[in-house]
Amino acid sequence: MIETEITDFDIEELSKLIADSDERIIPKNEIFMMPNSIHKSIYFIVSGLVRTFYFDSKGGEITHWFGGKNTIAGVISSFITQKSTPYALQALEDTKVKILSYEKFVELYNTSHEFVKIASKFSVKRLIEMSDKLVVQQTKTAKERYDLLLENHSDIFQKAKLKYIASYLGITQQSLSRIRIEK
């Protein structure tokens, strides 16, 4: 049997494996990974909230993902291939992270079977999340998408600006405002 559910045990195991990694508190609002750069690290979020975002062809800022406690923040495509990416990472509140450098990642990947298993679980989990978000985007109205986010991640509404949430939902800030009132 191939287990892919991320368990508390995995988190604990991962914490041990990266126990000696650099730790950092990223202050609220800091953009700690710049767009159009090679992402040489990924981050295990110990506490706090971050988002990834990018600029669309008209220069509008689009939030692509929110990530909280016990998630891995980082642009997998850039990290794995060590190529430039348009995505940026920003802390939305003071956020404590463990920094996992590319070198350390490769080392763990080559020496720890446990690490490889956890890494592949995370990537499958992220794939399912993305796939689900696409389904929601394609089959639900703006109001329904708003309700789903509120239901599942109400904390984000306390911590992120509404314009960040609006672009995450695929609507304008004004539409989000309209939806919130109609409630």
Partner DNA sequence: TTCATTTTTTAACATAGGTTAATTCTTTTT
Partner DNA sequence: AAAAAGAATTAACCTATGTTAAAAAATGAA
Residues 16-55 that bind a second copy (CB under 8 A): 54
137 binds DNA (CB under 7 A): no
Near DNA by CB under 7 A: residue from 1, 2, 19, 181: 181
Is residue 56 classed exposed, middle or buried when 0-12, 13-18 and 19+ CB atoms within 10 A define those classes?
Answer: exposed
131 binds a second copy (CB under 8 A): yes
Per-residue CA distances from 11 to 42, 43, 46, 155, 156 (Å): 15, 13, 10, 21, 22
104 binds a second copy (CB under 8 A): no
* Whole-number Å distance between alpha carbons of 177 and 23: 38
Shortest CA distance to 123 belongs to which of 42, 68, 25, 35?
42
Instruction: Report the residue number, 47 or 141, with the smaller CB distance to a second copy.
Output: 141
Instruction: Report the residue number, 29 or 174, with the smaller CB distance to a second copy.
Output: 174
* DSSP code for 86: S
162 binds a second copy (CB under 8 A): no
Structural tokens at position 183: 């409630």
139 binds a second copy (CB under 8 A): yes
Whole-number minimum distance, CB 25 to a second copy, in Å?
Answer: 28
Stretch that binds DNA, among 5-13, 76-84, 105-113, 136-144 (CB under 7 A): 136-144
